[in-house]
C-alpha cells in the first residue's frame, strides 16, 4: 500500500517514523506547507468566510498550512491513480509495525467500497463510548462522530476526491474537512498507531482565538446559520457540522477525562 508522510524530517522522531513506515508501506513524503499572513488572505488559497462559519473563528497559519499539506497528499493519490493510500503526520508513532502490516488487508477491503471511506489509524482517535459496536469481520469501530485527529488515516479514492473538492480553497481544518458527500468514518483500535504529543514549531508561535459567548449563543439559537447560510449547503448540514458536532466534541472530551 502507498503511504504519504507529511514531514520535512526536522520534527523530533520524524526520521525514526519514516524508517518505521518504510518497512510497512511504499512510502513517499509530502512537504509541509508554510504560508505567510499575506498569502492566507488570498481568496484562492483560503475561503475565510467559510472557515469562520464552520469554526467560529479565524484560521491560524498553521491550520491553513496543515490543510494544504493534507490536500496535497490526497491530490497525489488522485493523480497517481491510486484506489487508496495512508497519510501520516510526523507526530504519529507506530508501536508495532508488524501488527500494522497485518492490518493492511483490512483497510484495502473496507476502502474498496464505491462510497467515501476513511479509516482513522490513531487507535485513540475517539473515546470508546462514541463508537458503534466493532464489525466482527474487521474489528473496526465505526465512529458515531467524525474522529478529529488527522495524525494517521487511510483514505479511499472517493473520499480523497470529496476532501480535495471541499478544501479548494481551504475552508476547514484538515482534521475533518466538511464535505457535501457523506463520508463513512472508521477507527482501528488494533493499528498500534498513536499520536505523540509533540507541538510543531508553528503551533508554539500561534494561539487559536477563544470563541466569545455571544458567538456560541448564535450557534445554538440558529442565528449563526442565518448569518452564514451561504456557507452551508443546507440547514441539515449546519446542524450536523456545528451544534451536533460541537456537542459531540465536548462529550468526547468529558468522556476521555473519565476513561
Mean pLDDT of the region 84-96: 97
pLDDT at 90 over 80: yes
CATH architecture of 2-195: Alpha-Beta Complex (3.90)
Rounded percentage of the chain residues whose pLDDT exceeds 90 = 72
Q: What is the DSSP string of 54-114?
A: HHSSPPPHHHHHHHHHHHHHHHHHHHTT-SEEEEEETTEEES-HHHHHHHHHHHHHHTTSS
257 confidence band (pLDDT: 50, 70, 90): confident
- Which residue has better confidence, 26 or 134? 26
State pLDDT tens for residues 150-199: 899 999 999 999 999 999 999 999 988 899 888 999 999 999 999 997 76
Higher-pLDDT residue of 126, 95? 95
Which one has a higher pLDDT value, 43 or 253?
43
The 8-class DSSP code of residue 49 comes to H
pLDDT in tens, 27-42: 999 999 999 999 999 9
pLDDT value of residue 78: 98
Most confident of 10-14, 195-199, 234-238: 234-238
> For residue range 217-233, what is the model confidence (pLDDT) as tens digits?
999 999 999 999 999 99
Radius of gyration in angstroms for the set of CA atoms belonging to the chain, rounded to a whole number: 18
The pLDDT of 135-141, averaged and rounded, is 74
Report the predicted TM-score, pTM, of the whole model to 2 decimal places.
0.92
Predicted pLDDT of residue 164: 97
The pLDDT assigned to 48 comes to: 97
pLDDT band for position 134 (50/70/90)?
A: low
Predicted pLDDT at 148: 67
φ, ψ of residue 89 in degrees (nearest 5): -90, 160
Q: So where are the chain's domains?
A: 2-195, 209-258
Average pLDDT score, the chain: 90
Q: Taking 90 as the threshold, does the pLDDT of residue 250 lie above it?
A: no
**Pairing state of beta strands 84-89 and 152-156?**
antiparallel
Q: How many CB atoms lie within 10 A of CB 38?
A: 7
Question: Do the Cβ atoms of 120 and 87 come closer than 8 Å?
Answer: no
Amino acid at each position: 500500500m502507498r503511504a504519504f508522510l507529511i514531514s520535512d524530517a526536522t520534527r523530533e522522531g520524524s526520521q525514526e517514523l519514516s524508517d518505521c513506515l518504510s518497512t510497512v508501506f511504499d512510502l513517499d513524503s509530502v512537504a509541509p506547507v508554510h504560508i505567510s499572513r499575506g498569502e492566507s488572505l488570498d481568496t484562492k488559497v483560503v475561503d475565510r468566510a467559510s472557515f469562520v462559519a464552520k469554526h467560529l473563528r479565524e484560521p491560524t497559519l498553521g491550520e491553513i498550512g496543515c490543510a494544504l499539506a493534507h490536500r496535497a497528499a490526497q491530490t497525489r493519490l488522485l493523480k497517481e491513480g491510486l484506489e487508496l493510500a495512508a497519510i501520516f503526520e510526523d507526530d504519529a508513532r507506530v508501536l508495532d509495525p508488524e501488527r500494522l502490516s497485518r492490518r493492511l488487508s483490512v483497510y484495502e477491503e473496507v476502502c474498496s467500497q464505491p462510497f467515501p471511506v476513511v479509516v482513522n489509524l490513531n487507535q485513540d482517535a475517539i473515546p470508546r463510548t462514541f463508537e458503534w459496536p466493532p464489525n466482527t469481520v474487521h474489528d473496526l469501530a465505526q465512529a458515531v462522530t467524525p474522529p478529529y485527529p488527522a495524525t494517521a488515516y487511510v483514505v479511499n479514492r472517493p473520499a480523497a476526491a470529496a476532501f480535495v473538492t471541499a478544501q479548494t480553497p481551504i475552508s476547514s481544518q484538515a482534521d475533518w474537512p466538511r464535505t457535501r458527500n457523506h463520508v463513512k468514518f472508521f477507527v482501528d483500535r488494533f493499528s498500534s498507531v498513536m499520536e505523540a504529543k509533540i507541538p510543531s514549531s508553528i503551533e508554539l508561535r500561534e494561539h487559536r482565538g477563544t470563541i466569545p459567548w455571544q458567538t456560541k449563543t448564535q450557534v445554538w439559537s440558529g442565528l449563526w446559520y442565518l448569518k452564514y447560510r451561504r456557507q452551508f449547503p443546507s440547514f441539515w448540514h449546519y446542524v450536523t457540522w456545528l451544534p451536533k458536532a460541537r456537542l459531540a466534541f465536548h462529550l468526547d472530551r468529558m468522556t476521555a477525562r473519565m476513561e
